[in-house]
Amino acid sequence: MSTYIQHKKAAPNIARIRLLFVIILTVFWAACKTPSALQGKDGPQPVPDRYAPAIATGEKEDFDSTSNLASIPWEEFFKDSSLKRLIRQGLSYNFDLKRAINRLDIARTNLKQAKLLQLPTLGISADGSTTRFSDNGLTGSNMSGAGVHHYEDYTLQGQLSWEADIWGKIRNQQKYALEEYLRTSEAGQAIRTQLIADIAKGYYNLLILERQYEIATSSLILADSTLELTRLLKTAGKANQLSVQQTSAQRETVALLLPDLEDQIAAQQNALRELTGVMPGSIGDHGTLRDVQLPSVIQTGAPAELLSNRPDVRTAELSLKMAISKIGVAKADLYPSLRITASGGVESLKTSNWFNLPASLFGMVAGSILQPVFQQGALRRDYKVAQLEKEDAVLAFRSSVLHSVTEVTDALTHYHKLNSQSVMAERQVDTLQQGAENASLLYKSGLANYLEVISAQNNSLQAELNLASIHGRELIAAVDIYRSLGGGRQQASAKLK
């Protein structure tokens, strides 16, 4: 009767202990949940609804925000066949891009390994030993009477170990590996889109230099003609030696442009060949500046699309997600870990009885809970550092969004202003070319002096060189818009994943 009463009293105590244990687990579980990365009063500024490069000047905006230039494949955006050939070669042989692809392979391998973290570890071992006892030793003297001087032991066993993912540590490690893989992929895409833009800008810059070389060559021919005319006029007594010297100096000024432009052309071709992964030299036959057409409409889309189109913004976002996963791992390290181990196999003192089943069978199952005590200070420090790293990643992400919107806005403004400059530069060239022709005719008739002719020809030359530069810079600005919007991302994804 007393035993029954004691049992009735103990039952409520056991129930209370179980309830307390459940409450503790629930509290620990709630404490381990990772807070949202974007909580707080200092949230990021909202992304604007549209780009407005002309608001500051009050000019009419002529950019289409209903579609996005970034969705156009680079093969369609660039029309020049020679440029397409260079870009394809760069995508195949550029060393920076090859290294990015190699880093992606490394991240993919790490991701595959991380997917196996939740599986138990399994090992198999086979052991054999023989022991001879000393006849004068304690063990040997006791066993020598039984005629046993040594014994053998043979074991074949398997060991299994599994850690229960109670606090989400393994899940966060797997998320971290996945996010690292995706971030590496986005970083590779950023290198790819930048490479496409660099090749295009280098190619257009080459066309600018070649157009300027063509203009300088034509101007040199005109300067030679003016110098010859001046010499004839001097012979006829209608000009003096000073006019010949001044006209000759003007001719040499034009001639000096040619070797400098030749040097720049050679350097630009070498730079393009380096981007495409080949040794210095000529890039071969290609088009001219006149052959390249500007996009009819610049399609910007909404600024919010940068969050999914820009590889650098996606990289910053994935870095933030990695930091959050790292917090989860650091938090889980503060709490106990449960590990279950099991081993079993066959064991025998004679090899002939090794597989004598079930007599040779043995097995063992154990569970252990490990709570770090003396390492709590270091673990809490790691957790605090992980939280600070997350805050740093939040700031980096916000900065990348701000930078991307600013970059697109600047590129659009630059393109818009170059369009305006181009119209004015074309009018200036027409006017100055006509003025140079009139000055030459008047000079031949003796109605203008050599200084007027030299000034008119020099002004016309500078205007033509400036017009070629503006046309080329318009093309480069269009490339900047395409790159800053994230152009070519789909093709990068297809190649790198």
Q: Is 246 inside a domain boundary?
A: yes
Backbone angles phi, psi at 67, to 5 degrees: -135, 175
For the full predicted model, state whether its pTM sits above 0.85: no
User: The domain spanning residue 490 has which CATH number?
Assistant: 1.20.1600.10
User: The domain spanning residue 346 has which CATH number?
Assistant: 2.20.200.10
Q: Is 460 inside a domain boundary?
A: yes
Q: Is 409 inside a domain boundary?
A: yes
Q: Are 483 and 354 in the same domain?
A: no
What's the start-to-end Cα distance of the chain, in Å?
75
Closest CA to 339 of 48, 121, 157, 101: 121
Tokens of 121: 């570890």
Closest CA to 297 of 78, 426, 478, 485: 478
Strand arrangement, sheet containing 121-132: 121-132, 150-164, 337-348, 361-370
Which residues partner with 479 through β-bridges? Answer: none
What residue numbers bound the domain in which 181 lies?
39-117+165-334+378-496
Q: Are 386 and 316 in the same domain?
A: yes
Q: Are 189 and 251 in the same domain?
A: yes
Q: Are 100 and 188 in the same domain?
A: yes
Q: Are 343 and 245 in the same domain?
A: no
Q: Is 442 inside a domain boundary?
A: yes
Number of domains in the chain: 2
Per-residue pLDDT reduced to its tens digit, 110-160:
777 777 777 778 788 888 777 776 666 666 556 555 555 666 777 878 887
Q: Are 181 and 54 in the same domain?
A: yes
- Predicted confidence pLDDT, tens digits, the chain (497 residues): 444 434 444 444 545 444 444 433 443 333 333 334 334 445 556 777 788 764 444 344 455 555 788 888 888 889 888 999 999 999 888 888 888 888 888 888 877 777 777 777 878 888 877 777 666 666 655 655 555 566 677 787 888 787 777 777 778 778 888 888 888 888 888 888 989 999 999 999 999 999 999 999 988 888 888 888 778 877 877 778 888 888 888 888 888 989 999 999 999 999 999 998 889 988 888 888 888 887 777 888 888 888 888 898 988 989 998 898 888 888 887 878 778 888 878 887 776 776 777 777 877 877 777 777 777 778 888 888 888 988 888 989 988 888 889 999 999 999 989 988 989 998 998 988 888 888 888 877 777 777 787 888 888 888 889 989 999 999 999 999 999 898 866 543 434 44
Tokens 């590129």: give the residue. Answer: 411
- Which of 354, 370, 386 is the C-terminal boundary of a domain? 370
Q: Are 71 and 174 in the same domain?
A: yes
Q: Are 126 and 189 in the same domain?
A: no
Q: Is 446 inside a domain boundary?
A: yes
Per-residue pLDDT reduced to its tens digit, 224-239:
888 887 788 778 777 7
Closest CA to 375 of 408, 330, 415: 330
Contacts of 122 (CB under 8 A, 6+ apart): 158, 159, 160
